Amino acid sequence: MNYSIILGIAKTHLISRLKQSAIAALGVTFGIGTFITLVSFMTGLNGLLDGLILNRTPHVHLYNEIKISEKQPIDFIAQPEKELSVIRSIRPKFNQLRIHNALPILEYLNKDKRVKGAIPQITVQVFYKAGSVNLNGILNGIKPLEEDRLFSLGDYIIKGEAQLLKNTPSGIIIGAGIADKLKLDMGDRVYLTAPNGGLFQLKIVGLYQSGLAEIDDIQSFVNVKMAQRIVGQSDNYITDINIKLYDLEESVPMAKQLSQQFNISARDIKAANAQFETGTSIRNIITYAVSVTLLIVAGFGIYNILNMLIYEKMNDIAILKATGFSGKDVQQIFISQAMIIGVLGGILGLGVGFFLSVLISHTPFETDALPTIKTFPVNFNPAYYVIGILFALVATFLAGYLPSRRARDLDPVEIIRGQ
Amino acid sequence: MGKDIVLKANNINKYFREPTLFHVLKDISFEIETGEFVSIMGKSGCGKSTLLYILSTMDTDYEGQLLLSGDDLSLKTADELAYIRNRDIGFIFQFHYLLQEFTVLENVMLPAKKLGIKSLQEIEHDAMEKLRLLGIADQAKKLSMRISGGQKQRVAIARALINSPSIIMGDEPTGNLDSKNSQNVFSILKELSQEEKLSLLVVTHDLDFAKKTNRIIEMADGRVV
Ligand SMILES: Nc1ncnc2c1ncn2[C@@H]1O[C@H](COP(=O)(O)OP(=O)(O)OP(=O)(O)O)[C@@H](O)[C@H]1O
Ligand SMILES: [Mg+2]
């Protein structure tokens, strides 16, 4: 009962100053709308940029690194406590690139609960032959469908598809840069020279474009079996194992564990892309800073309007107090006005933000780096809309609180005397 | 008992501290019986308005005792006083104080809505009744800024009446009206005091007006004489 009277008075006050109230509400609308648009667009871009690298990068990458032996032959006979051994010109020991016992390791990994998938890869140095020209290149032997599932290979295939490679044992998905240089296209044949000199003829079933020229100019994909044939090895020849985890945070301990357990080099995604999280968090900070600034400006608008309103409504305040409304009632009247402005402005702001986000998400955006993206990425996360409206409510409450306290403490006698 | 005292002031003293210490009200004591129509007269600046603000509980910065229907008001909190103003005291100002953007009817209904005892229909019915009593029922739906000064004053009286208060106070309620209108308002007040047994305490400069009331309290220099 009491509150409906208070709300009624608040509403009448706002309607009687419709223009100023609308301007104050539009201030909030502007702040919230900009926040929603900015945050949706920024996080959309963040997601895209993160995905650009994070999706493609294994969470843990197992491989054999060429490095010097930790324990040199002399260490087996010397006693380091007593003697000092000096060795000059250490050379790395000849390591095989292949991972020892790769198949059992793969089996072991795929049973691990933390692992979303572990897949083999075979890296082979080749030459692409075109007439008398030999182009340097790298061939990756992969399991096409698994590669697509775990590392979004399909997003970078601009012609053809991963399934086609799986169905074609002698197929190849070739880097767009190479195809361009060799004037090759889908269905054409390409000749490769293997490290041991063998010549292979493969059929192009797809074009790959990562957007990074130095990759697109050398890299191609074939089936695991084909790669093993090209290096002339049996089907337990595997040079790399790529692991995707359910939880990215596990990658560091996991890499450490695997490296010790299998005596192998293991690189986690954090070591591979250390600079990445910094960029993301800086973009987030900018987004929130801009939005908070806009809301503070909107808050000052509300603060001003309310102060003005209270000044204009001195008589009303005196009458209300003289006829039995308490200071708290009067305070609630003005707080309600701030909140009505905040809620209406905020909801409208969410609408404006959503509308702009939709508009942006339909704006064409084409770039070589992202062959499958045709429009700007926008993140329509409902959480931002909840944050936005909470933002609006808190800002308007704070902006309304001080003026409303002034109204609460106004002495009706002073106002009546002032006449 | 015999007499029924509605309002009793006991040694009320009031000081203004700004700009210099100023003793405005000095040992004011008087009583008003139920149904009595009392006027307060005195030179300009002798403290009539100041006294009325204290009696109406809007000003709490005073010394002394104030009893409304035997209830000691000097001990109440601000919220309790607001409730008492709402239920027991009707106030009519010199300048017709109405909420400008509300209709006449809404202005009259507001104190009753705040009291929250009656249903909305009852309140509206009562408010129309009061407006009819004051002869302005036809103005009920107009915005209160769109009616004449005399009409506004009558709306203010209707509003003061809506919660059937124990006492109605007025600070020069006719001071702003022409003689015809002030005659009119006076006769309304007189009628109310006679027919409805309403207690009235009115500050006035108009001697003719004061003479027609039951009793005149004469003030000079902050004292009752
Ligand atoms: N807020 C204040 N601070 C200091 N002095 C005040 C204040 N309000 C009123 N006064 C003084 O108190 C005295 C009484 O004022 P009050 O308004 O009660 O007079 P009044 O009898 O109602 O006069 P009038 O008939 O002209 O309305 C005056 O001398 C005035 O100057
Ligand atoms: Mg006065």
For chain A, give the mean pLDDT. Answer: 85
Contact by Cβ (8 Å): A153, A220: no
Please report the pLDDT score of residue B1 as a whole number. Answer: 46
Q: What CATH number has the domain bearing residue B127?
A: 3.40.50.300
Q: Which residue has the higher pLDDT, A95 or B88?
A: B88
| Total of domains in chain B | 1
Residue-level pLDDT at A129: 85
Digit-coded pLDDT (tens) for A256-275? 998 888 888 888 887 766 66
- How sure is the predictor about B123, in pLDDT bands with cuts at 50, 70 and 90? very high
Name A78's Cβ contacts closer than 8 Å, sequence gap at least 6: A85
Does B2 have pLDDT greater than 60? no
pLDDT > 80? residue A19: yes
Q: pLDDT band at residue B188, thresholds of 50, 70 and 90?
A: confident
Reported confidence tier of residue A89, pLDDT bands at 50, 70, 90 = confident
Tokens in use for A384?
């931002």
Residue whose CA lies nearest to ligand 1 atom number 24: B44
Whether residue B34 has pLDDT greater than 50:
yes
B82·A325 Cβ contact <8 A: yes
Q: Which of A318, A323, A328 sits opposite B85 (nearest CB)?
A: A323
Domain boundaries, chain A: 3-54+276-418, 60-69+86-268
- Expressed as residue numbers, the domain containing B143 is 5-224
CB contact under 8 A, A5 and B79: no
| Pair of tokens at residue A56 | 């493609």
Comparing A32-36, A299-303, B43-47, B127-131, the range with the smallest average pLDDT is A299-303
Share above pLDDT 90 across residues of chain A, in percent, rounded to a whole number? 26
Tell me, what DSSP letter sits at residue B147? Answer: S
| Distance of alpha carbon B124 from alpha carbon B108, whole angstroms | 9
* CB atoms closer than 10 angstroms to residue B145: 11
Q: Could you give the CA distance from residue B44 to residue A83 in angstroms, rounded to a whole number?
A: 114
Is the predicted pLDDT of residue A276 greater than 70, yes or no? no
Within an 8 Å CB–CB cutoff, is residue A391 touching chain B?
no
Question: Does the pLDDT at position A183 exceed 50?
Answer: yes
Answer yes or no: is the C-beta of B50 below 6 A from any ligand 1 atom.
Answer: yes
A10 pLDDT exceeds 70?
yes
- pLDDT value, residue B159: 93
CA atoms within 13 A on the CB side of A234: 5
Q: What is the pLDDT of residues B126-144, one digit of tens each?
A: 999 999 988 889 999 999 9
ipTM of the complex: 0.91
pLDDT at A71: 67
